[in-house]
Structure 1
Amino acid sequence: MAGTIFWDVDTQYDFIMPDGKLYIQGAEEILPNLSLLTSFARRNDIQVLGSIDYHTLYDPEISSDPDFLHYLSPSLPARYARTTQSGFRCT
């Protein structure tokens, strides 16, 4: 599928998993679909692009009230939900 990419948006652990720091209620319900899309991309040699949300302690959007400290670089690397990370090269 030349010229095709999949754009991975906000599938980070902290957003999708119930024990994540910025969990979105019900987000884990899309994990089966994310797995299907990721598998399809692998089988069809489709490039998957994405971004990682991370912050320094002094970013204006960071707050510890109520518990919004997440992905503080470089001490804690951001993680993707398992269904979207396996088998891809990260740069």
Structure 2
Amino acid sequence: MRTDVLFWNVDTQVDFVEPEGKLYVPGAELLKPVWEKISKLAKDEDIRVISTADFHYKGSAELSVSPDFVQTFPEHCMAHTTGAEYVAETTPENPLVFDWEKEYTSLKEVKTAREIVIRKDAFDVFKGNPHTSEILNLLAPQEVIVYGVTTNVCVNDAVVGLVKKVEKVYVVEDAIKELPNIPLPFENWEKLGVKMIRFEELKEQIKKNADNADLTGRH
């Protein structure tokens, strides 16, 4: 399994992506073909994928019956509902799952898992699940490739958290989608050193790095 690079799939869940979802992000369903290609690339190149997921219960701080659609939103991705599930294009295969409300005696098995799910109860996965930082520390990737929804909420929080812990953070620009009426983060990402990359460029980069690793291993 590749240990230098990690794919980071943000909240590609039914309630966000499907038009009938409870917090539909307009146009998100159009990203499914790219997400499918990313999932296939990860499998073909034996790259680990962390998939984050909103996983709320009644009373969650970000849920409101009168939401402002900036800090609070209507009920969505409620625990153990269809809306909290991933769309088919990004559904993890036999993932190792970490719930935000549970305690674990050890997280070391993450090192042998290719698919990991981190459930969260906040926009920011580093605040919404107490195990996120330790999982990332154990994996210690050099590069993280981020994609999913939404650009200006949960994707942004993931990116801002990741740049503090990882040398290189890339965002797949044709694999993200934003919510309306919330400022976009691109200018800040640039200041933080985040690189934007399209899927075809990513594919070439991943395969090139794999070839270089093979050559190094032969010498």
> TM-score normalized by structure 1?
0.84
* Superposition RMSD in Å: 2.1
Structure exhibiting the larger radius of gyration computed from Cα positions:
2
Give aligned-pair identity as a percent: 33
Residues 29-70 of structure 1: CA deviation (Å, up to 9, x unaligned): 110000000000001110000211022211222123478212
Q: Structure 1 regions of 5+ residues with no counterpart?
A: none
More RCO (CA 8 Å, sep 6+): 1
- Distance in 1 between the 2:96 and 2:12 partners? 14
Residues 5-28 of structure 1: CA deviation (Å, up to 9, x unaligned): 100012111111111111000111
> TM-score normalized by structure 2?
0.38
Q: Structure 2 regions of 5+ residues with no counterpart?
A: 68-72, 98-219
Task: State whether structure 2 residue 68 is matched by structure 1 residue 63.
Answer: no
Once the two structures are superposed, the pairs formed by residues 9-88 of structure 1 within 5 Å of their partners are: 9-65=10-66, 68-73=74-79, 75-76=80-81, 78-88=84-94
Match of 2:7 in 1: 6
Matched residue count: 90
Structure whose residues are more often helix by fraction: 2
- Distance in 2 between the 1:19 and 1:86 partners? 22
- Distance in 2 between the 1:76 and 1:26 partners? 22
